[in-house]
Structure 1
């Protein structure tokens, strides 16, 4: 088997979905299943089929438009049943009416509920101008609640036991209202009805199911968000409550005695949604280079655009442990724009900086100190040149896939990649 892990090396929105879609529709080997291994319903992986159909994948794997490709939501995924049902309805309208039939969910996956979402939005609103840039979907609250109340955190398997589910949701609702009395929350019985219907509709499985998937055919592990937003190595506090590196996928593979090629996805320029450090941001590009499938969000804020940043990407590679090859997207934009630049170094208080320090995982004070430094950094620019050649020489990694548009037909494979990091068997 040739399994692959697809991870965004930036701040997200680099094109993980379109790369996963290509791997499933036209990749070098047939793909049996897509495994989601971090994040939740806040993901927004845009896929455009050659015939023009478009879907923004949140929880289903981005290979779902390819007939027969399954989705497995691992125990590291945060499952939001209501949003999943809405996504399935849209997929059915696009011709993938059997999306639910091709879905399996690990019984230990945490559930994101309307109560988590209400707490998320109330907390983020209370921050005012100091917002962290949340997606407003309750993902962070789901993780925080599971850490504070591990025995009371609802999981996918609880959807098959209405009595236990009702107790868990009632306790969750009461705690949210204690913290945020004005929060708009639904009736517990309504949530129980909806979640038990979900439990009856989907196939809930144990951890050994993934082991069988890995033995049955090639699997693509699809990450969410980007390495620069990682909960432990991102620029705190403007991060996500999720491990966005290869770590979760590697844990699942190690448990099954399997390995995979690591594929890092990069845009030919940089983007970021919401607040936080973005050294190469260019306001002119933000206003002059719109993204068809990314725009202002009421919780995330502005979709920001900037120049290619080798300093940030080298940092992402370092904290992620390297990649076997790169996939570079939006090369059609780079080809059309002559004003895109390259940053190889920063200047902070007059001193040059070519690399960011990699701190100890979990040292959030250290990461916040790094954030403060980056807020003062200024980019040192030079002409971009050929972005593929620039990335290969600047990062020391072969570009195995070039993307010149949103569909699988717009992808071009490069020469065979030289050996690169894989997960340990």
Structure 2
């Protein structure tokens, strides 16, 4: 039985929650392995819409055990707000398991994130201001606080003292902010200890044991390939490993346990935050994609930057993740367009690049080279087989498949839970 990784194949917001939901009835565990509450999944079930930020979307599927892995950074206040909101709507939250090794986003991380971003001025990265980057920085600097530290007040106090020693100097002398006391942080964090304790376990052991029992484990990535701290458009990236390799480091499950890697890509492309974006649209077609695609951030509410599909990025994502399948989402958003451009290569100062340039400077100056495809006007939201799609829609999908170098195994044709066409089994 497989371990399956789902990752975003663009800059995020591709519809990973929908893909997870598609697999839900055949999955036993769903694991969030990176990021924090800086990304969101929107899942539509019937007339109900659920916006998830920190929790894996598998929490909405009956019988699935949702897991927050060691690679995640957790804002405990946000965690319990989200759990309480789901519980109030009748969702069973009792099965949630949290790694004892996951790091905590403390209040001072949020403060530093916001003041640092403002201090950068024109060089801002476009962070969400939720403390994600500073929490990961503390993790790498070995002054982070982990979930397990909540259960030993003496250790917790020592770690908070160590973390604040330098941060208070920064807040006072650089940013002209008040110092943060150890007591206020320790008191707030300890207030969550009793409630979180029953959820905490050795999640790596639990997941490996589940795979040995022949159960299906789905690893759900936050953010996306082009936001990965190593493989994305650095420095305009997130602070964690958002590619398939991060599933192993963020969960404690070795790479030989992974059988499938599924990349999620929209039939166009969007980005949130600053950074290069060759196919970005600033005209009425960009407005069309935003309006028809509902392109506003689940977590931030920010308007996403829209653009046409970028085939070199799809090929890049296929390589660095080792994709076995692509789930193409939001094909229905393109309905009504007479012609649909697709970026097939880049022009950089007169030089043609068929792949993503290794130089960030080249990528920043890249101009898209487009190939246009005929559009369609028929409503495709009711299609449940590939053959039911208009011929032009079929041709568009097949062209993207050929250019992306990975088979397109499923196609999203609407926001509903069942609005999807399955061409190839994603589990078997």
One fold, TM greater than 0.5? yes
Alignment of 1:33 onto 2:29: yes
| 2: CA distance, partners of 1:167 / 1:53 | 45
| 1: CA distance, partners of 2:199 / 2:416 | 29
| 1: CA distance, partners of 2:270 / 2:302 | 13
| 1: CA distance, partners of 2:295 / 2:163 | 33
**Taking structure 1 as reference, are residues 281 and 257 closer, same or farther at Cα in structure 2, changes over 3 Å only?**
closer
1:138 aligned residue: 131
**Taking structure 1 as reference, are residues 183 and 319 closer, same or farther at Cα in structure 2, changes over 3 Å only?**
farther
| 1: CA distance, partners of 2:146 / 2:240 | 17
**Taking structure 1 as reference, are residues 198 and 118 closer, same or farther at Cα in structure 2, changes over 3 Å only?**
farther
1:232 aligned residue: 230
Cα offset for 1:316? 2.0
1:299-343 per-residue CA deviation (whole Å, 9 max, x = no partner) reads 8964100001111221222222x2111100001112333353111
Listed as ranges, the matches of 1:375-390 within 5 Å are: 375-385=364-374, 386-390=395-399
Is the contact between residue 311 and residue 343 of structure 1 (CA under 8 Å) also seen in structure 2? yes
Is the contact between residue 403 and residue 411 of structure 1 (CA under 8 Å) also seen in structure 2? yes
**Taking structure 1 as reference, are residues 59 and 293 closer, same or farther at Cα in structure 2, changes over 3 Å only?**
farther
Is the contact between residue 318 and residue 405 of structure 2 (CA under 8 Å) also seen in structure 1? no
Is the contact between residue 54 and residue 79 of structure 2 (CA under 8 Å) also seen in structure 1? yes
| 2: CA distance, partners of 1:102 / 1:232 | 33
- The aligned length equals 398
Alignment of 1:89 onto 2:84: yes
2:378 aligned residue: none
Alignment of 1:214 onto 2:220: no
1:381 aligned counterpart, secondary structure: strand
Listed as ranges, the matches of 1:150-165 within 5 Å are: 150=142, 152-165=143-156
2:312 aligned residue: 311
| 1: CA distance, partners of 2:327 / 2:150 | 38
Alignment of 1:110 onto 2:110: no
Is the contact between residue 118 and residue 183 of structure 1 (CA under 8 Å) also seen in structure 2? no
| 1: CA distance, partners of 2:224 / 2:14 | 8
1:364 aligned residue: none
| 1: CA distance, partners of 2:370 / 2:341 | 6
Cα offset for 1:253? 7.0
Structure 1: where are the runs of 5+ without partners? 359-369, 420-425
Is the contact between residue 346 and residue 369 of structure 2 (CA under 8 Å) also seen in structure 1? yes
Q: What is the RMSD of the two structures over their aligned residues, measured on CA atoms?
A: 2.5
1:305 aligned counterpart, secondary structure: strand
Q: TM-score, normalised by structure 1?
A: 0.87
1:68 aligned residue: 63
1:4 aligned residue: 4
Cα offset for 1:260? 2.2
Cα offset for 1:215? 3.2
1:366 aligned residue: none
Is the contact between residue 162 and residue 192 of structure 1 (CA under 8 Å) also seen in structure 2? no
Structure 2: where are the runs of 5+ without partners? 375-394
1:363 aligned residue: none
Match of 1:414 among 390, 412, 423: 423
**Taking structure 1 as reference, are residues 64 and 192 closer, same or farther at Cα in structure 2, changes over 3 Å only?**
closer
Higher mean C-alpha deviation, range 348-357 or range 161-170: 161-170
**Taking structure 1 as reference, are residues 407 and 173 closer, same or farther at Cα in structure 2, changes over 3 Å only?**
farther
Q: TM-score, normalised by structure 2?
A: 0.86
Is the contact between residue 273 and residue 300 of structure 1 (CA under 8 Å) also seen in structure 2? no
After TM superposition, the runs of 4+ consecutive aligned structure 1 residues lying more than 6 A away are 296-300
Is the contact between residue 280 and residue 379 of structure 1 (CA under 8 Å) also seen in structure 2? yes
Higher mean C-alpha deviation, range 305-314 or range 380-389: 380-389
